[in-house]
Structure 1
Amino acid sequence: MDQPLPSVAHGAQAQHLAGTDTAPSTTAPQRPDGAAIVPAKALPALDRLLRLPACSALLEAHGATLVTQEARALLAGLRSQAVAGTLAAQHITDAALADALALRVHARLAPRMQAVLNLTGTVLHTNLGRAVLPQAALAQIQALMAQPNNLEYDLASGARGDRDSLVEGLLCELTGAEAATVVNNNAAAVLLTLAALAHGREAIVSRGELVEIGGAFRLPDVMASAGARLVEVGTTNRTHPRDYENAIGEHTALLMKVHTSNYAVQGFTASVSEAQLAPIAHVHGLPVVTDLGSGALVDMAALGLPPEPTPQQMLAAGCDLVTFSGDKLLGGPQAGLIVGRKALIERIKKHPMKRALRLSKLPLAALEATLRLYLRPEHLTRELPTLRLLTRPLADIEATAQALLPALQQALGSRWQVEQVALQGQIGSGSLPIERLPSAGLAIAPVHTKTSGRQLEALATALRRLPTPVIGRIAQDRLLLDLRCLEDPADLTRQLHALPMEAP
């Protein structure tokens, strides 16, 4: 433990160092705001600070290493203030020091990843974690992660097993595929497929399907990383069957379709469907690979939602392999799923890159539990949060808005006007980019609009600083809270007291 800092104490300083909370004499220098300031020599030594009763409790709860580190940092910061002549006497009382140290320790231990209330209107928000896991997946994780499990152990034979076997049967049953494998996300699924089937050879793709996904991650870059040579056919807005036929040569490895789920080209357009492309590829002994991205496993139109292609439909149309995500419309954890012909899946499984991209035990457990929900399709909109939120009745959302409005208005005060409004949300994560979901929510606007932009930003910041951060969106000089994803109004109302009175 550090030695006490050398100090000379006189008068009120001596009283403070003796353990009292007596403030320095009123004749001491003062800051412009009238608060008394103290010199650096008035600060306690590290060991004395740690002997304070409240600090001793911190040591008992969290151990000496963390608490001592934060105590040193606290004293260093106060010493800098003292040297600058800005350290107020009330900041070095025993109570103030103990409180400040406790705040620092708790801040260090607080998780960076937090649960938030997604009131943006985007259900599958990439920046907010995409799909919310169903209770079945959470229970499976809790049951399996706290003890050893049969991740790669065949309980029937007592020999080493294959982790893919935990979900392969379910995926084949749900999609109609001959075989399946899984990796850690859909970009990895595309990368591994291309590396296993087209390394050193050509992959033919329409120019209109050379997508870029979040983080400037582009399909041509994925192909290059996999060692495949991209052959572009057609134009940005129009591609025809003959474009693929004319591009096939001795170095062609596969024909690829990419579902343009995160944008739409409209107007004078033409594209080649999987059903049209499969015969062209198969005549030449080539596979068709389709990247669906969002990967819905049910007919969205039957649920009253905009239609989205499914892996089942793509395989029925003649595709040999389909890749899709686990944490989008499927409603599970982050994962990349590859389903299709057994011979091709076996080649993919044997590629050295498969081990580097394999799915770990935690998301694999969640994925299995999520897939099992699809065996009872009649219960999906109740048990799978993604589909439950997407199909939530508008009247239910409007009722939530009506119930919340008075409480929010009271919490914000007279400087703000809160009103119930009709809104248009979206599915998100690249799914159906131009389709909108009728929704409802609350619009918050400042009564005095001279500095409305700064006021709205300040309010959005205050909401993000709540114990469970509230994430809305600013549009048309209002802060909008879309309530589609708020199933329990109490999740918001129980923390409104933490907003500052007459919130900024």
Structure 2
Amino acid sequence: MAVDAAASVAGARTGADSPHCAAPGAIRLPAVHLILSDAGCEALIAEYGRVQTLEAARALLAELRGVLLAARRAESPVAPTAATDTNIPALLAMLSDRLRDSNRSPLRPVFNLTGTVLHTNLGRALLPDSAVQAVAEALRWPMNLEWDIDTGKRGDRDNLIEDLLLELTGAEAATIVNNNAAAVLLMLNTLAQGKEVIVSRGELVEIGGAFRIPDIMTRAGAVLREVGSTNRTHLKDYDEAAGPQTALMMKVHCSNYAITGFTKSVELPELSPLAQKHKIPLAVDLGSGTLVDLEQYGLPHETTVRETIAGGADLVTFSGDKLLGGPQCGIIVGRKDLIAQIKKNPLKRALRVGKLTLAALEPVLALYRAPDLLPERLTTLKLLTRPAAAMRAQAQAILPVMQAALGAGYEVRDEAMMSQIGSGALPVDQLHSHGLAIRAAEGSRISNVLGMLEQRLRSLPLPVIGRVAQDTLWLDLRCLDAHQQQRFTDQLSLLQTPA
């Protein structure tokens, strides 16, 4: 980039058609104060500040100076002459690009066309408008985060959402932490430090980022007591393992895999009486966690938090940013005495959430009071229940624009495809979807044609994230909101493909 920039400045100053026509000695870069005092720099200073603009200008001139000196050494000596044109406008254009790039946030919006609705790497659940507005309000105003307005005394931030959670889950008490991994860690550290936790071998899961149940137990100070085998665990396995050192029996949702064939697991209604007999709390890590029966919306069944509490669980942990459709957080609900112990753990303060999370979570939970309206109001559920016909119509509208942008080197077709919920929710279930399937045109000689296109899509002003599989670039339109479609198609003209 610096070489091209230096050549551009050189060519402009000499009036030559090619920068190679200019002798390096004839190029003189202006002093930095001339750039900053130019009228064209006023807008940059107003936007980025004088200090940052000055530093960027100095860095740009130093870089160009190095390029020009290197060019002088490489060519035959030429007697230096004064440059007749310093071409400050060209330098200001380079400076503007540099300042814009250095100030662009690394956290950017993207088009999620992967087909995975709750994509961990893309931020999981999108918040509904009511939550977005609540967060904006919390950003602008002081909030009663830990202040009881009725009594005028210090309050508990969990109280802001506890009543809603108890109403929706049937639990006695609740507390909130940063994410579900934190919820499991806090629960184990509070109730099982130095003691045993019984878990079936078939439930020793590893989720994204190499987070493993055995590892989190070690960090929490608990001792893992494995029972049963990978594919079959019986009630007697739990019964025989229970003893004086047992602090918890724990079931873990197999959120990102399924064991099929000759299998056996012990379900809550069977395990709960055994835990009560031994006077051992029974905890369930639901992972994703949902507050409503998804079958009523035409989706596969996923055990709800209320069903888990009703089934005999003393504690349940689950995520806020997966099927629940809210912000990242971990929620613990269950027996009042156990929640009280958890909240007294010093780690609770280290893992607690701030006002923005609570501001987003409360309106999302409130939506569940009207389950009949949930598919219209909860963004996650709206995307999961989106009709394939709507996606098909969208694909047919976008196809000619995409084909025109890509040219003859690619073949674009609208095709049926399969989406997935993602983030460990219902790992073996898929959703019928529709989108664009892009393949190399027959006879194309372009090397790595799909990889190059995938990179170009990611390089657009608003990056497009798809997936490459089976010699096809798949752009699943499930998560392309109809209001975003025009913005998506408008930038396709910026795609540059090889001839």
CA contact (8 A) 2:13 2:27 kept: no
Letter in 1 for 2:495: L
Aligned positions of 1:65-84 closer than 5 A: 65-84=51-70
Once residues 61 and 306 of structure 1 are traced to their aligned partners in structure 2, the CA distance between those partners, rounded to angstroms, is 51
Equivalent residue number for residue 283 of structure 1: 277
- 2:282–2:314 CA contact under 8 A, matched in 1: yes
Q: Which residue of 2 aligns with 1:459?
A: 453
Whether the 8 Å CA contact 1:192–1:353 is kept in 2: the answer is yes
Following superposition, the deviation at residue 401 of structure 1 comes to 0.9
Equivalent position of 1:24 in the other structure? 14
Give how far 1:84 is off.
2.5
Q: CA deviation at 1:24?
A: 2.5
2:177 and 2:331 in contact (8 A); partners too:
yes
Q: Give me the whole-angstrom Cα distance separating, in 2, the residues matched to 1:35 and 1:187.
A: 64
**Paired amino acid for 2:359:** A
Where does residue 43 of structure 1 map in the other structure?
29
Asked whether 1:240 is paired with 2:230, we answer no
**Offset at residue 101 of structure 1 (A):** 0.4
3-state SS of 1:436 partner: strand
Give 1:310 shift. Answer: 0.9
Q: What is the alpha-carbon root mean square deviation over aligned residues?
A: 2.2
Instruction: Give the Cα–Cα distance (whole angstroms) in 2 for the partners of residues 443 and 168 of structure 1.
Output: 46
Equivalent position of 1:13 in the other structure: none
Matched, 1:383 2:377: yes
In the alignment, does 2:341 pair up with 1:353?
no
Matched, 1:269 2:263: yes
User: 1:312 pairs with 306, 315, 322, which one?
Assistant: 306
Q: Which runs of 4+ in 1 moved over 4 A?
A: 448-453
Q: Which amino acid in structure 2 is aligned with residue 276 of structure 1?
A: E
Alpha-carbon offset, residue 462 of structure 1: 1.3
Deviations 1:95-125 (A, max 9, x none): 2210010111111221111111110000100
Output the CA distance in 2 between the equivalents of 1:429 and 1:452. 35
1:371 alignment counterpart: 365
Equivalent-residue separation in structure 2 for 1:128 and 1:456 (angstroms): 22
Amino acid at match of 2:14: P
- Give yes or no for the alignment of 1:228 onto 2:222: yes
Look up the SS of the partner of 1:414 in the other structure. Answer: helix
- Distance in 2, matches of 1:247 and 1:92, equals 83
Task: State the distance in 2 between where 1:137 and 1:251 align.
Answer: 44
Residue 150 of structure 1: aligned partner: 144
Change in CA separation of 1:22 and 1:471 when aligned onto 2, cut-off 3 Å: closer
Q: In 2, distance between residues paired with 1:411 and 1:436?
A: 31
Is the contact made by 1:459 and 1:503 (CA closer than 8 Å) also made in structure 2?
A: no
- 2:24 and 2:69 in contact (8 A); partners too: no
Structure 2 counterpart of 1:85: 71
Counterpart for residue 11 of structure 1? none
**Contact 1:392–1:484 (CA<8 Å) still a contact in 2?**
yes
Change (3 A) 1:419 1:64: same
2:77 corresponds to:
none
Q: Secondary structure, in 3 states, of the residue corresponding to 2:417?
A: strand
Shift of 1:315: 0.5
- Change beyond 3 A, Cα 1:22–1:131: closer
The structure whose residues are more often helix, as a share, is 2
What's the TM-score once normalised by structure 1's chain length? 0.91
Contact 1:452 1:477 in 2 (8 A): no
Normalization by structure 2: what TM-score? 0.92
Aligned residue type for 1:460? E
Q: For each residue in 1:246-281, what CA deviation from the matched residue of structure 2 results, as whole angstroms up to 9, or x when unmatched?
A: 111111100000000111111111111111111111
1:253 — aligned with what? 247
Long gaps (5+) in structure 2: 1-8, 75-82
Q: Which residue is equivalent to 1:492?
A: 488
Determine if the alignment matches structure 1 residue 54 to structure 2 residue 50: no
AA aligned opposite 1:400: Q
Is the contact between residue 70 and residue 101 of structure 1 (CA under 8 Å) also seen in structure 2?
yes
1:300 matched to 2:315? The reply is no
Runs of 5+ consecutive residues of structure 1 not aligned to the other structure: 1-15
User: Measured at CA, do residues 49 and 473 of structure 1 come closer, stay the same or move farther in structure 2, by a change above 3 Å?
Assistant: same
Which residue of structure 1 lines up, in the alignment, with residue 109 of structure 2?
115
Decide whether aligned partners of structure 1 residues 413 and 361 sit closer, same or farther in structure 2, where only a CA change above 3 A counts. Answer: same
The answer for the alignment partner of 2:95 in structure 1 is 101
CA distance in 1 between counterparts of 2:25 and 2:230 reads 70
Distance 1:331 1:498 in 2: 34
Alpha-carbon separation, structure 2, partners of 1:451 and 1:127? 33
CA distance in 1, matches of 2:445, 2:341: 62
User: CA separation in 2, counterparts of 1:73 and 1:23?
Assistant: 20
Whichever residue aligns with residue 248 of structure 1, its letter is A
Task: Describe the shift of the 1:98–1:268 C-alpha distance in structure 2 as closer, same or farther (beyond 3 A).
Answer: same
Shift of 1:60: 2.7
Larger CA deviation: 322-331 vs 481-490 = 481-490
- Structure 1 match to 2:80: none
Q: CA–CA distance in 1 between the matches of 2:229 and 2:260?
A: 14
Equivalent of residue 406 in structure 2, options 402, 407, 412: 412
Report how many residues are paired. 480
Structure 1 residue 368, shift from structure 2 partner: 0.6
Deviation at 1:22, TM superposition (A): 5.7
CA distance in 2, matches of 1:453, 1:420: 24
CA 1:156–1:249: 2 relative to 1, 3 Å = same
* Cα deviations by residue, 1:51-75 (Å, 9 ceiling, x for unpaired): 2222233123321221112112212
Q: Distance in 1 between matches of 2:479 and 2:199?
A: 37
Tell me the secondary structure at the aligned position of residue 104 of structure 1.
helix
